[in-house]
Chains A and B, each alone.
Chain A
Amino acid sequence: MERTFIEEDWMSKPDALVYDNHPETLIDRPLHYCPGCHHGVAHKEIMHVVEELGIQSEVIGVAPVGCSVFAYHYMNVDMQEAAHGRACAVATGIKRVRPDKTVFTYQGDGDLAAIGTAETLHAVNRGENILIIFINNAIYGMTGGQMAPTTLEGMQTSTTPYGRNIKDIGYPLKMTDLVAHLPGAYYVTRQSVHTPNAVRKFKKALKKAFEYLKDERGTCFVEIVSNCPSGWKMTPVESVSYIEEKMLPEFPVGDLKTPEK
């Protein structure tokens, strides 16, 4: 078998490793996600940020129902599984019992924007001091690619085989825009992870979110515009172009609310 790797003398030097694929915070275990799924990128970079901020021991994560239901299998921090859509309510309880901890939720769009809409909006409206990470792939991945509230107009899914028809089904729900209007929201941003630079920006935003959380002045909300190659019936490479051409015009990246100075 051809070697993908040639040993060089300098590689054993302590500073030679510039990107560690498994920092202490990410468990070295094969992911169950489909090839090219952005859940993997999100898990990895969230855990890199936790490592870089040195907050592994003070973080508690809440996993959702959806493809990322096993998030606690991979994230090497304290984790709690929540019932479908209830992650923000569970995180509220954890944060109130352990105010010394940094609490985040990780939720898909089916979880956060459909069955969990009420829990999410009310948690933000109460200004709970938690970080909500919202991974928006515009579809229900786990259950076989059904339409989600965030599905784009005209997008084909297994429940909208002719494309989402706005007249009958309504518009893509922009949760991030909604929560940005709530007084309880402290920092609200939308990012993506489809290119290396997008990942760099996402990491920066996530770091800010974790730091703002320390102010204890409201909810931080980070949306990640992402893909679902299996549900979208595309190759991972095609899904990246789809994000660029279709998802980002509907869900533009950038900060929607930043703390007042």
Chain B
Amino acid sequence: MARKATVLIDKELCKGCELCVIACPLEGLVLSDDLNLKGYRIVRLDTDKCTGCVNCALVCPDSAISVFREPKAAKPEAT
């Protein structure tokens, strides 16, 4: 399924604090078993239904998350 929105998580900035996990209304973010170079467990997005609400990015202390949302198609010009 094509996604309407998604997040980009900078693995090397994430510290696995899970503040984004509790902020996501879809419970779409999960702490994975992967470690980054600093040894922190990192989160990943585990849903196709992300709406791009930016909740996770707002509460992330380490600026690890940026959010993308599919731009609405431009309205056809009025004639």
Measured CB to CB, the residues of A under 8 A from B are 1-6, 8, 10-11, 13-22, 26, 28, 30-31, 33-41, 44-45, 193-196, 199-200, 229, 235-237, 240
Contacts and interface: CB of A to CB of B under 8 A. Distances in A.
Contact of A193 (B6, B12, B22, B59): B59
Contact of A18 (B3, B43, B45, B52): B52
Interface in B50-79: 52-71
B64 A21 contact: yes
B51 to A, nearest CB: 11
Interface residues of B, number: 46
A237 B19 CA distance: 6
A41 B22 contact: no
A199 B53 CA distance: 13
Given A17-B67, A21-B13, A22-B63, 9 more contacts: A2-B34, A4-B11, A11-B6, A21-B65, A22-B66, A35-B15, A36-B19, A195-B23, A237-B22
Interface of B: 2-3, 5-13, 15-19, 21-23, 32, 34, 40, 42-45, 52-71
Contacts of A30: 12-13, 62
A40 B61 CA distance: 4
B22 A240 contact: yes
Contacts of A229: 17
9 contacts: A4-B42, A5-B6, A15-B71, A18-B52, A19-B58, A20-B66, A36-B61, A194-B59, A199-B58
Contacts of A3: 44
Closest 7 CB pairs of A and B: A40-B61, A36-B17, A35-B15, A4-B44, A196-B55, A19-B67, A35-B17
Nearest to B34: A1
Secondary structure dominating the interface of A: loop
Contacts of B62: 30-31, 33, 35, 40
Contacts of A4: 7-9, 11, 32, 42-45
Nearest to B20: A196
Contacts of A16: 68-71
B54 to A, nearest CB: 5
B2 A19 contact: no
